[in-house]
Amino acid sequence: MKTVNLLQRLGRIAVAMTLVLGLAAGGTARAMTPPNVLVVGQIAEPKSLDPHAVTAVNDFRILMNIYEGLVRYKDGTLEVEPALAQTWGISDDGLTYRFDLRPGVKFHDGTPLTAAAVKFNFERMLDENHPYHDTGPFPLSFFFSAIDKVETEGAGTVIFTLKEPYAPFLSNLAYPTGLIVSPEAVKQYSKDFGRHPSGTGPFRFAEWESNSKVVLERNDLYWGDAPSLDAVVFRPITDANTRVAEMLSGGLDLMVEVPPDNVGQFEKDSAFTVYEQAGPHVWFLILNAKEGPMADKRVRQAVNYAIDKKSLVENVLQGTAQVADGPTPPAFSWAYNNDLSPYPYDPKKARQLIKEAGVEGAKLTFYVTDGGSGMLDPVPMGAAIQADLAKVGFDVKIETYEWNTFLGKVNPGLAGKADMAEMAWMTNDPDTLPFLALRTGAFPDKGGFNSGYYSNPTVDRLLEDARRSTNQAERARLYKQMQSIVHDDAPWAFIANWKQNAVTTSQVSGFKLQPSFFLLLSGVSKP
């Protein structure tokens, strides 16, 4: 019959086409990344390449290769060393910082790095009357709210005067919000500067194809050691499975945030190298210390004993985190109290404390979220915690909210709403998290994040003193003491410190993960 012939003919054509396509595709050496170009798989499309306008680690990963700050973190640590500033001095009262700039440094657009340029950078962010303040908004400008004024002395010296002593100032300067951008480029592109970045870093911006790639090329005029790579291409691939597939099929050289379930697969494969590094991250439960069962310290400690954190970290998170013991992650090695160890898993002790406090069988409301930066795997973790608490007699009711809605419920405070809530923070200085979330002066109604209303005057004093001191040894002593007290008071259930991870093909060399979570690529090479 004629129609059968037609179909047969169509079928043959289809098979022939597939073969031709397959040969053609196979012949084009499919899925090999270009030589000497590093292709990086990111978790999302960048929002902007203006470092003062962004808040996400995803954006920082690109920015730290285009720009530099007055100071930077020493390789492998969270301590600062010179970068664009060669030397600096701090006045005895901790109010005046003087930076001497490295001479002869140019921005990618050819204009020179001068003290005036540095002044422009900070005034643009902080002064609402600055002519280019409208190129914002600048969500993290409050990192520098302690600055009273910025002055220049000649072309090579910048002087910052602070309103009050603020020890984290240097560390904040090493953070992306302190990176130095070219004022001429801001003037030229105005609101579109975020799509035409110009910095002083080892890579210069080449191209940004929305939702497809951001391309950086080697800066041959870099003042330091120029990278060996010709270019770096950042590809946003939001679906984790697709990202893994791209890595496996050779479409990527480097991938960050490997899903816990795939880490083992890459580790076993000799074509890939897996990297891990503890980062300045804490995952915890905020406990309502104002009202309800959690107002009693014994109950809060009981929660810490009742949760099997080791199992959670090994089984739910597949080993991509380590158990936390306090508010300060070990990544801040200089300020971390090595004498502390996590609350051991001890349901018996938990039951005993609960009995003493007289809250056996208490009903608890637990806020859980479905996502969010640094929240790891919040839903299964919430379920595991609920199960652990059930074993010691608590009746935990979970309420799950989408991330932004969740923040809207948790940040104003847990009073009258919940007994516990999940939370996670990634910071750059041991001051930030405790100062914003554990002080009496940081209750939500005062603009802070102490949603559990924890209050201990000794802790308040220690944190305030540590912030004002510019002597690192002194600050370290104060933070260690604070950690001891907070560990004991247990305003939070300390659960985990995320181990950031990455995977590269085995041909990539010179790559290292940094405790800051920054992706620094100038030392990386590949054939």
Partner 1 sequence: MGYYILKRLLLAVPVLFGLTIIVFLIMAMIPGDPATAILGSYATPENVARLNRELGLDRSLAEQYFVWIGNLLQGDFGRSYTLNRPVIDEVLERFNATLILAGAALLMCSILGLLAGIVSAVHQFGWADRVITFVVLIGISTPSFFLGLLLILLFAVSWRVLPASGMFAIYGGGDLPDLLLHLILPAVTLSVVATGVIARLTRAAMLEVLRQDYIRTARAKGLSERRVIYRHAFKVALVNVIPVIGIQAGFVLGGAVYIETVFQWPGIGGMLVKAISTRDLLLVQGGVLVVAASYVLFNLLADIAQYMLDPRLKL
- Burial class of 193 by CB neighbour count within 10 A (0 to 12, 13 to 18, 19+): buried
Binding to partner 1 by residue 372, rule CB under 8 A?
A: yes
Task: Pick the closer one to partner 1 by CB: 82 or 374.
Answer: 374
Alpha-carbon distances, residue 521 vs 82, 102, 316, 345, 518 (angstroms): 18, 22, 31, 40, 9
Query: Amino acid identity, residue 505?
Result: T
SS3 39: strand
String of contacts with partner 1 for each residue 118-157, x by CB under 8 A:
------------------xx-xx-x---------------
Q: Mark 180-219 with x for binding to partner 1 (rule: CB under 8 A) and - for no binding.
A: -----------xx-xx--------------xxxx------
H-only helix segments in 285-339? 297-306, 309-311
- For the record, the structure tokens of 90 come out as 């701090």
Could you give the dihedral angle defined by the CA atoms of residues 491, 494, 495 and 501, in that order, rounded to the nearest 10 degrees? 130
Q: Report if residue 405 touches partner 1, rule: CB under 8 A.
A: yes
55: contact with partner 1 by CB under 8 A:
yes
Smallest separation (angstroms) from partner 1 to the CB of 183? 19
Alpha helices, DSSP H, located in 277-377: 297-306, 309-311, 347-357
Nearest distance from C-beta of residue 70 to partner 1, angstroms: 22
Name the minimum Å distance from CB 179 to partner 1: 17
Phi, psi at residue 33, to the nearest 5°? -75, 155
Please pick, from the candidates 146, 233, 254, 364, the single residue that binds partner 1 as defined by CB under 8 A. 233
* Among 423, 417, 410, 398, CA closest to 494: 423
CB 167 within 8 A of CB 466: yes
Size, binding site for partner 1 by CB under 8 A: 69
Region of 53-61, 148-156, 255-263, 463-471 interacting with partner 1 (CB under 8 A):
53-61
Binding residue for partner 1, selected from 183, 236, 293, 452, defined by CB under 8 A = 236
d(CA 313, CA 495): 8
Residues 13-52, one symbol each (x = binds partner 1 by CB under 8 A, - = not), give --------xx--xx---xx-xx--x-x-------xx-x--
Please tell me whether residue 249 binds partner 1 under the rule CB under 8 A.
Answer: yes
Interface with partner 1 includes 159 (CB under 8 A)? Answer: no
Exactly one of 36, 188, 190, 241 binds partner 1 (CB under 8 A); that residue is 241
On whether the CB atoms of residues 327 and 282 are closer than 8 A, the answer is yes
Token duo for residue 520: 């620094």
What is the contact surface with partner 1 in residues (CB under 8 A)? 1-4, 6-7, 10, 21-22, 25-26, 30-31, 33-34, 37, 39, 47-48, 50, 53, 55-56, 136-137, 139-140, 142, 191-192, 194-195, 210-213, 233, 235-239, 241-242, 245-246, 248-251, 372-374, 402-405, 407-409, 411-412, 424-426, 444, 447-449
